[in-house]
Amino acid sequence: MESKAVIQLAATPLSSEAFAPFGQVIWPEPDALDWQLGDAELDLNQALPRLYLMRLAAKPLRVQELAAHRQVTQCLGVMEPYPWQIAVAPASHSAEQPIDASTEVRAFTVPPRCILKLHRGTWHAGPLFESPAELVFCNLELRNTNSTDRFTLSLLPGQEAEISP
């Protein structure tokens, strides 16, 4: 069995500024009648949108590949009071070339009570978490995202990334 170099990705605490190259952080705000700065800027016009709650099991904070959706601004948020992790890379990275986790992939710890809106094409792995055993996430994407708009990108050969929360 081939030995892999494990790249340690220290998860950055989430901030709107740090996450800006990959998407938007939607923080809780007072209710407003009209759009306001900080509201999600969504692109859902490529097909019918799908909003659902997905139940995910805990798994190790390891990344071997990332996924991207080129037709939609996917939104993810936990429905429970637990943080989670996500690894991201710029949408501009080519799908034809493996990605170097040590220089091009960033990890974030996402607190509860916020939602991430990923820019179209942002490469991502997650939601990831180790505890509790299961969490429920809100996911907004297109109805056919996983069948027609899911592209994957491997890390460089021999690499695996591990997120340190």
Q: What is the pLDDT of residue 3?
A: 76
Q: Could you give the strand order of the β-sheet that contains 75-78, starting from the edge strand earlier in sequence?
A: 23-26, 115-118, 75-78, 134-142, 49-57
Q: For the chain, which residues make up each domain, given as ranges?
A: 5-28+42-164
Given a cut of 70, the residues of the chain with pLDDT beneath it are 1-2
CATH superfamily of 5-28+42-164: Ureidoglycolate hydrolase (2.60.120.480)
Q: What is the pLDDT of residue 126?
A: 97
Q: What is the pLDDT of residue 105?
A: 98
Q: Is 126 left (phi over 0), alpha (psi -120 to 50) or beta?
A: left
Q: CB burial class (10 A; 0-12, 13-18, 19+) of residue 156? A: middle
Q: What is the pLDDT of residue 35?
A: 80
Q: What is the pLDDT of residue 75?
A: 98
What pTM does this model have? Answer: 0.94
Report which of 56, 59, 65 is spatially closest to residue 98, judged by C-alpha positions: 65
According to DSSP, the β-strands at 12-13 and 106-110 are parallel
Query: H or E element: which one contains 102?
Result: helix 101-104
Q: What is the pLDDT of residue 2?
A: 65
